Structure 1
Amino acid sequence: MDFQVPNTLAEQIANYLAERIMTGQIRPGERIHEATTATELKVSRASVKEALYTLERWHLVDITPRKGASASRLDAEHASELYDVYMHLLLMLADRLCDRWQEEDKPRMLNVVGAVIEQMKKPSADITAVVEASFEVMEVCCELVGNPYLTEALSNFKPAVSRAYYLSAERYRQGLAQTSQFFTQLPQAVLARDADKARALIQDFAEHQKALIQQALAPENGERAGAR
């Protein structure tokens, strides 16, 4: 990613660093020095500091008094805890979506879901594209539900969950058949306003995804997994 000066400088710095953390260019536990980053990006240390606070909110950075910031460590146990909280937020979203969607929302929901399924049908599925399309479904659902607090909470979890997917990309690829089935069945439950069915689908799918991530981040599967 080439750094470009944005309208909101601190947010763009945060996005730039987030991509490097999520893709492993900045390793778990690695220090992020304000002065070095400011020099590299030709920005002020104040802007970098603000960006680091944003990354802390996104669960990508740990900030320790007198020690500074470092990329948060990620192992199977903490990925599991992260995904459990994220799953419960998704369950809340599904409950409200089943209750609040309107007939005019139906084409938009089906379009974003269809885009995910199309990405997974490609001969060599691009995991990054699949993950981004999946989050697009979540974001559209958040807009339809219209709960700003739930939207903010889910948005703050998106980078950390994306990071877990990227670090376990090959395992995630192995689960694409079940992912496709999930995205086929979930809209049917939501459009039928069957909240119980939607919750069951999300819970089953989340447990499956969590297991894949735990396997990929287990210590024997690579040096990039770490403990907080």
Structure 2
Amino acid sequence: MDFSVSSGLAEQIAAYLEDRIIRLEIKPGQRIREAAVAEELGVSRSPVREALRILENNLVVELIPRRGARVTVISETFICDLCDVLAELLGLVGSKCPVNGIDEELAVIDEAAKRSWTCANNGDLDGYYTAVLDFCMACLKAAKNQLLEQMITELLPNLRRIIYASFLAMGDTIKTNADTVITGNNYVQQRNPEMAEKTVRDYIMRMRAFALENNAAAILFDDHLSRH
């Protein structure tokens, strides 16, 4: 893996591990060994240890004394709690970005939404996942609320885990999910904060319901994904 000199090594390692966890290359409950990661990436164990602390702060891994790091298991309770909080926070984003966003920012939002629809209809899961995240982050930027941005950013890693696993489980029905993104985008482009907020809240609650339906073992989609 090539690292950029413009940002901290530990942060880059944390981002690398987080992405592998989100994509279920490292599964819930699986141990992460410092030495193995350091050898794989060609770095010392010190920045790997710091990266794991970053992931612990974001609730992505848990550090167990004398046993190392383990990927957190996302329970049904955690999904409910996270989605309840995010429905409020992202609903606020939905109400603010149509009002505070300038035309150039709304154009970026529009591009991401249309790209998500194209990816969904082409069966491009990774492309759809990336486009939806780009859409969310563009809306967050347009909302122009620094505190709101900070709060959502701290919750983003586990939201990304739930979103990716949900999209993976949806299969062809991901097109229906994309339709909701397009609907929300239309309200943003129309500068209709009330309907944009409602669409966002409804979207999060539907994602919660889907996640719970596919999480019977209280472990992030382990049983469901094993059948795919």
TM-score between both structures, scaled by the size of structure 1: 0.83
**Correspondences of 1:145-164 after superposition (within 5 Å):** 145-164=143-162
Match of 1:93 in 2: 93
Shift in CA distance, 169/120, structure 1 to aligned 2, threshold 3 Å: closer
32-41 vs 69-78, greater mean Cα deviation: 32-41
Aligned mates of 1:208, 1:175 — CA distance in 2: 13
Aligned length: 221
1, 4, 7: which is aligned to 1:6?
4
The letter of the residue matching 2:30 is E
State the Cα distance separating 1:24 from its structure 2 match: 2.3
Deviation sequence 1:134-187 (CA, Å, 0-9, x none): 010111122222333322332333332222233334433354233222122212
State the Cα distance separating 1:131 from its structure 2 match: 1.1
Shift in CA distance, 38/93, structure 1 to aligned 2, threshold 3 Å: same
State the Cα distance separating 1:216 from its structure 2 match: 1.6
Alignment gaps of 5+ in structure 1 = none
Match of 1:128 in 2: 126
* Matched residue SS, 1:171: helix
Match of 2:77 in 1: 77
Match of 2:141 in 1: 143
Q: Report sequence identity in percent.
A: 25
State the Cα distance separating 1:67 from its structure 2 match: 4.6
* Matched residue SS, 1:24: coil
- Say if 1:60 and 1:159, in contact at 8 Å, map to a contact too: yes
Aligned mates of 2:116, 2:198 — CA distance in 1: 20
Deviation sequence 1:37-88 (CA, Å, 0-9, x none): 2233232222112211221233311234555421111233322322222222
* Matched residue SS, 1:151: helix
Deviation sequence 1:74-120 (CA, Å, 0-9, x none): 23332232222222221121122132123343333222211111111
Shift in CA distance, 75/52, structure 1 to aligned 2, threshold 3 Å: same
Question: Within the alignment, does 1:59 sit opposite 2:59 as a pair?
Answer: yes
Shift in CA distance, 45/158, structure 1 to aligned 2, threshold 3 Å: same
Match of 2:25 in 1: 25
Aligned mates of 1:162, 1:205 — CA distance in 2: 15
TM-score between both structures, scaled by the size of structure 2: 0.83
- Say if 1:167 and 1:216, in contact at 8 Å, map to a contact too: no
Aligned mates of 2:69, 2:224 — CA distance in 1: 18
Aligned mates of 1:223, 1:36 — CA distance in 2: 27
Match of 1:188 in 2: 186
